[in-house]
Amino acid sequence: MKKIVGFVGWRGLVGSVLLERIIKKKDFKNFKFVFFSTSQVGFNNLYLNNFFKNKFLKDAYNLEELKELDIILTCQGSAYTNQVYYKLRKCGWKGYWVDAASDLRMKDESIIILDPINREEIIKSLNKGIKTFVGGNCTVSLMLLALGGLFKNKLIEWISFSTYQAASGGGSGYILELLKQIIFLNKSLNKDFIASKSILEIEKNVTEISKKSNFPKKNSLVPLILNLIPWIDEDRNNGQSKEEWKMEFETNKILSLNKKDKISIDGTCVRVGSLRCHSQSFLIKLKKNINLLDIEQIIASDNKWVKIIPNNKKSSLENLTPLSVTGTLQIPVGRIRKLSIGNKYISAFSIGDQLLWGAAEPLRRMLNFLI
Ligand code: HSE
């Protein structure tokens, strides 16, 4: 009999990308999907009916309905998870909970899913009876897919990173606000002024517009366009942001590394104005001196999505920008070179779509594991 999957949070940014993938890959044929809503209970969604033959949206807070499911797949966010997950487990529900939100990641009872990297761990945990599976932080997942070969071959002593994270990582509100900022600038700029003034006068004018109190910045707090935001997620009050903390914590959990083998990873996470691709620059200290061709070979052979981009200007501009990767599952890794500071130090630069490999794809693949 087909397993019954209850899908919650399928209208949001990650949920919509996941739904798109489920439809594209025809996964809906392998399961019986039931759609839930926190706000539109009873609505008949005509779009869903084209694929899933489910007439009405069910109540995402109704434990009796949820208890009937084999699998709950949620992209609804941490607030929903916290409100429903524990109650459901408490009343004896033994189904699989597959979650995009971060809250359950830190729990011992959960596995962070990224199967090209920790497939064996996922299988072991299924055999052990683990029932809670959580997608990783997007930046972490994208780093692991990019450098999986170096991690798996235990070649990394430590990594320092700088990220360039897309607006989408902050949610749809960030994307819409970025667009509103573009429109605000466009409306405020005067073509005749630009045509007649010196570049410094124009720059001053643009800066003044960006600093206006009514510039749209409800989500981002400061303008994202023509600017950047050097802090992502909460302040941990030790100088590190929560996003930066996740890099080391989640990586070591995904790789199941114990205290002795733990890899140190730290750096600075920054939001920039790209739409849905996160970029990351890595400074890596290897455990030994390995020649560059071997390093590239190790990185390239880890998974079928990773691709080495030759370290030259033309290839980098063509293949190593957010725009060249957006909407795809590719993980290009370029700018790989030995650094002048020592023969064990290399740099690398990687990009990935944070809504696909960074969020939706590991969840979709987990569903298929559960068949
Ligand atoms: N925390 C990420 C970001 C989102 O803010 O870009 C995906 O995990």
What is the position in ligand 1's atom list of the atom closest to the CA of 170?
5
Please identify which of the residues 75, 138, 269, 277 carries the catalytic annotation. 138
- The answer to pTM > 0.75 is yes
SS3 of residue 226 by DSSP: coil
**pLDDT for the residue numbered 53:** 75
pLDDT at 41 over 90: no
Mean pLDDT of the chain: 96
**pLDDT for the residue numbered 258:** 93
Rounded Cα–Cα distance for residues 233 and 143 (Å): 18
**pLDDT for the residue numbered 93:** 97
Strand partners, 280: 163, 350
Compute, in angstroms, the gap from residue 278 CA to the centroid of ligand 1: 9
Q: How many CA atoms lie within 13 A of 79 on its CB side?
A: 2
**pLDDT for the residue numbered 42:** 81
52: pLDDT confidence band, cut at 50, 70 and 90?
confident
Give the sign of the dihedral formed by CA 109, CA 114, CA 118, CA 124.
positive
Confirm whether 278 is a catalytic residue: yes
Confirm whether 277 is a catalytic residue: no
pLDDT digits (tens, 9 = 90+) for 113-147: 999 999 999 999 999 999 999 999 999 999 999 99
SS3 of residue 26 by DSSP: coil
211: pLDDT confidence band, cut at 50, 70 and 90?
very high
Ligand 1 environment, Cβ below 6 A: 137-138, 165, 169-170, 232-233, 243, 354, 358
Spatial CA neighbour of 3 closest among 37, 26, 27: 27
pLDDT at 54 over 70: no
Compute, in angstroms, the gap from residue 118 CA to the centroid of ligand 1: 21
SS3 of residue 4 by DSSP: strand
What Å distances lie between residue 116 and 123, 254, 294, CA to CA? 12, 11, 21
What Å distances lie between residue 310 and 130, 321, 328, CA to CA? 42, 14, 20
Q: Are 160 and 266 in contact (CB under 8 A)?
A: yes
Give me the phi and psi of 318, to 5 degrees please.
Answer: -80, -35
At 288, the amino acid letter reads: K
What Å distances lie between residue 53 and 46, 48, 162, CA to CA? 9, 7, 45
Rounded Cα–Cα distance for residues 206 and 352 (Å): 31
Spatial CA neighbour of 139 closest among 9, 261, 272: 272
pLDDT digits (tens, 9 = 90+) for 142-186: 999 999 999 999 999 999 999 999 999 999 999 999 999 999 999
